Amino acid sequence: MSLQTDALVELWGEPLGRRPDRIHSVSSDSRSDLKGALFVPLVGERFDGHQFLDAARIGGAAAAVAQRDRLSAERVQALAREGNWALWLVEDTLVALQELARVWRRQSPAAVVAVTGSAGKTTTRELIRAALGSLGEVVASRGNENNDVGAPGTLLRATPQSAALVVEMGMRGLGEIERLSRCAEPDVAVITNIGTAHIGRLGSREAIAQAKCEITAALQPGGLVVIPAGDPLLEQALAAVWSGPVERVALADEIPQLAASTPPPTLVGTLLGTEGSEGTAPALRLSRPGEKALPLEAPPLTLPLDGRHNARNLLLAIATALHLGVNPADLRHLEVQLPGGRSRRLSVGGVCLLDETYNASPEAVLASLELLAAGGGRRYAVLGTMLELGERSLELHGLVARRVQDLGLDGLVIVADGAEGDAMAAAAAGLPRLRRVTTPEAAAAPLLPWLVPGDTVLLKASRGVALERLIPILEQGLSKEALPSA
């Protein structure tokens, strides 16, 4: 896919130098293949991409944009005289990157799905990617590609063969998701939930709901919002900014607990079979509520990921896929590959490690504890600090530790110092095995002697804790010699 430079002239006026007819790609990395590309030098606290303008030109870039405040008049003239390329001067290259992504998105026939929420964004993104696979090529956000730089990068990877784009949208404050929505102009907006992640920055769940609903700011006319049913806070925030179609999903056995004041679900999943030793139901049957609640014309779906929370995330993906024309039969067996530290199971020495080390919010920790509790054998949790919870931090750390005790788990290792560690230790004081350490590596000392074949261990904490550092120590300790029998 390429871009006619007439569209860029409409954005920024005529460039300095010789304007190419078309731009074949857009990049902010001077080390990438820049032949025929438009180079966008970004500016950060510790870097300035403008120092690589010459490297970009030599590397074959057809054009570049540059911030006026970053170049002297002499430097601008020198760049404009250099060979067969063009230079546009703009006020902010990050804004220019987002404008480019919007133009690129508008010329693509691909459907655009935007995904946000307090927890489960990346998992839901990957479930949607898998659910849309029968449509053709699906381009989705990679890694942490969910911010002011990453989301445009996802859109700019669209090709003429792309059938769908799945853009994850994170945020650290009000206004960020609105910018990303105006960049992506989505056809479908998915909100996984409204929780307490980043409540330390935003101050309340009401503010978090407002921020998440910014995803509708540039939703296409006739577009669709997909949400879990039964959250009055989300419904209120959404109603303030969106009056178009909404698809609400729910698990059948949870419908009686949904708030009566909220609209009913429009897509329901019934978990089939009994939960096994790994805490997951084998299949999900879909139905549209009505007088007879008839099932959709498709066999039950195999659940690609463990846990009820992931069954809910799957329903969000299914609703999106059905709206975009996917045949229900094509959803029967989905294969999902998640980035490291999310829904990963490791088996070492007969012990199952549930690797959820990538990040943590209270809602995500509680969901992971439910998954752990549904399994067989003895069950242990290693929980670290959850960051950015503000004034509610002690309350929420106590909440998750108390849940460990309520679920009857066999032990807990707390990786937290300070007041958060105190709150967790106090809330879990009745556990048969309870230890507190201050580093991930130190958690191995109390944990390894507890473990025997058949046990399961959950590892979960905020990214800043780096709890993944514990995994190789456990792997070494568990595989060093045969563990004793239970």
What is the per-residue pLDDT across 299-354, written as a single tens digit (0 to 9) for each?
789 999 888 899 999 999 999 999 999 999 899 999 998 877 777 889 998 999 99
Q: How long a stretch of residues is the chain?
A: 486
Angle between helical axes of 308-323 and 362-373 (0-180°, round to 10): 110
Decide if domain 3-93 falls under CATH 3.40.50.300: no
Q: pLDDT at position 275, please?
A: 46
Phi, psi values for residue 414, rounded to 5°: -95, 125
Kindly tell me if the per-residue pLDDT of 483 is higher than 90. no
Q: Are 373 and 407 contacting, i.e. CB atoms less than 8 angstroms apart?
A: yes
Compute the average pLDDT of residues 375-395: 91
Domain 108-331, what architecture? 3-Layer(aba) Sandwich (3.40)
Kindly tell me if the per-residue pLDDT of 237 is higher than 50. yes
Kindly tell me if the per-residue pLDDT of 133 is higher than 80. yes
Q: pLDDT band for position 246 (50/70/90)? A: very high
Q: pLDDT at position 343, please?
A: 79
Kindly tell me if the per-residue pLDDT of 282 is higher than 70. no
What is the distance between the alpha carbons of residues 407 and 378, in angstroms, rounded to a whole number?
12
Highest mean pLDDT among 297-311, 400-414, 467-481: 400-414
Tell me how many degrees the CA angle 181-187-190 measures, rounded to the nearest 5: 70
Q: In sequence order, what DSSP letters do the residues of 22-61 get, joined into one string? A: EE-EEES-TTS--TTEEE---B-SS-BGGGGHHHHHHTT-
Q: Do domains 3-93 and 108-331 have the same CATH topology?
A: no
Kindly tell me if the per-residue pLDDT of 281 is higher than 60. no
295: DSSP letter? B
Q: Where are the domains of the chain?
A: 3-93, 108-331, 344-479
Compute the average pLDDT of residues 240-260: 95
Q: Over the chain, what is the mean pLDDT?
A: 91
Q: pLDDT at position 280, please?
A: 43
In 219-290, which residue ranges form alpha helices assigned H by DSSP?
232-239
Give percent above pLDDT 70 in the chain.
95
Tell me how many degrees the CA angle 312-314-315 measures, rounded to the nearest 5: 65
- CATH number of the 344-479 domain: 3.90.190.20
What is the distance between the alpha carbons of residues 370 and 122, in angstroms, rounded to a whole number?
20
| Whether the predicted model's global pTM rises above the 0.85 cut | yes
Q: pLDDT band for position 390 (50/70/90)? A: confident
Q: pLDDT at position 340, please?
A: 75
Q: pLDDT at position 342, please?
A: 78
25-71 pLDDT per residue, tens: 999 998 999 999 999 999 988 899 999 999 999 999 999 999 999 99
Q: pLDDT band for position 388 (50/70/90)? A: confident
